[in-house]
Chain A
Amino acid sequence: MHNCKSSRNSFIDLALGEIEPARATELQAEINDCPGCHEEYESLRSTLYVSKKALRLAVRGEEFWPGYRTRLQAKLLASSARPVESGGERALSSQMWLALKTLATTSVRVPVPAALALLLICGVFFFVWRARAQVNIPPLTPVALFGAEVKTETREVPVFQEKVVTRVVYVEKKSRRSASGADQSDRTAIPNAPNTVGATGSNSATALSLAGFKPTSEVKLTIIKGSYKDEK
């Protein structure tokens, strides 16, 4: 169905050869069938034809060009411009620049569904990454980055300490008499212990009992671990 208004919108494109051949043939047939459109299209074509002719006519005649060439040659000779580049470096840099420019301006045609899917994947990846970042994950050490396992463990290391203990022995009279048999056995157990029980009597029990001991500074007991039985 021919529509004058919509057809006329395409007249310029048709006259300038910007319409596909099939559509152009169709449009031309419409124009031929409609007197109004035909007149409009012909006037457009005439305008273009006349303007093209006029543009050609405006250009100077033959007598102009020798002088034009002379002036151009004089300007060229006067100018210091040279087309040859100063050296290979500049040519290389310009080539690199061109390559970079080409790389930067290269575009790839991607179908809309594929582009949307790609965008969606990127979005999901971003949100997952954000979610993982919010969880408190210890930072990776440089060693861990190279694949070696690092375990951190707390261990108690036994520290041996020397402890000086002063042994004070108190002897009571009653217990001394009742336990005289036991004391006798003790004296035999200690070779350096003086045999003073019979000579000093009960009053000198304290003095007798301390006589067998060395000064505290010389007695050193080292307790490593354990109960009374381990005490040396």
Chain B
Amino acid sequence: MYSEDELIRQAQAGDKEAFCLLAQAYERRIYSLALHYSRERYDAEDLSQEVWLKAFAALSMFRFESSFYTWLRRITINCFLNHRRAKSYRWHSQTSESASSEDLAITNDAGSQARVLESTLQNQLVVEKVMQALAAVTPQQRLVFLLKHQEGMTYEEISKELGCSTGTVKKSVSRTIAKLREELGVNEEPESYMSCAAAGILR
């Protein structure tokens, strides 16, 4: 078993197998970012794999001055910002199809199936609402929100990465949260929302 640094050095020498092993450690995070940014599964796969190809091509520039993921995230952000395909589409949830079929396959009794189905449907509903909220903001606002909320970067780090002011970052986060609250109906019916969330995602 190789360490990350060893894998990086091997990949820098042109070892594609070592790079694939390296990619396995971060593929979900990158894919997740790509998915929430693009809001479409096929686009997310293309976008995330484009990130990996660019990372491999630029790997010789990695000087071990920061963590590999920080360097990789920078490439991801640049790749997202250069991604010009501005498609206006709705979030087509495919989680329900795959997840429900899987869940249903592994459960035997009807009661369990009903509970899993209910839970899955609730999850699907919330995911769809979150995706709709993300679709309602600009790509930059979406990216800022994802970097803050999903990646845990500070306002200052985001402003440096995106080349904008801290105020812009704050406004983007605030705007996206307002959209999320609007879509999730938090402001209107906090009690029912909470119960729904508790029954579904927040189990």
Question: Which A residues have a C-beta under 8 Å from some C-beta of B?
Answer: 12-13, 16, 18, 39, 43-44, 46-61, 63, 65, 68-69, 71-73, 75-77, 79, 81-85, 91, 94
Contact = CB atoms under 8 A, between A and B. Distances in A.
Q: Which of B41, B102, B127 has the most CB of A within 10 A?
A: B127
Interface in B158-201: 170, 173-174, 177, 180-181, 184, 186-187, 190, 193-194, 197, 201
Given A76-B53, A83-B58, A84-B12, A68 B130 contact: no
B141 interface: no
- Say what secondary structure dominates the interface of chain B: helix
Contacts of B187: 43
Interface in B41-65: 41, 45, 49, 52-53, 56-61
B192 to A, nearest CB: 12
6 contacts: A18-B155, A44-B177, A49-B197, A50-B202, A58-B130, A83-B12
A48 B176 CA distance: 11
Given A49-B202, A50-B197, A76-B56, A55 B24 contact: no
B113 interface: no
A18 B173 CA distance: 12
Contacts, number: 142
Given A46-B194, A61-B102, A83 B60 contact: yes
Given A43-B186, A48-B177, A50-B197, A55 B126 contact: no
Contact of A79 (B53, B193, B194): B53
Interface residues of B, number: 59
Contact of A47 (B41, B93, B131, B186): B186
Contacts of B81: none
B150 interface: yes
Given A58-B36, A61-B99, A47 B150 contact: no
A194 to B, nearest CB: 120
Contact of A72 (B11, B52, B194, B201): B52
Contacts of B24: 69
A43 B53 CA distance: 41
A69 B202 contact: no
B19 interface: yes
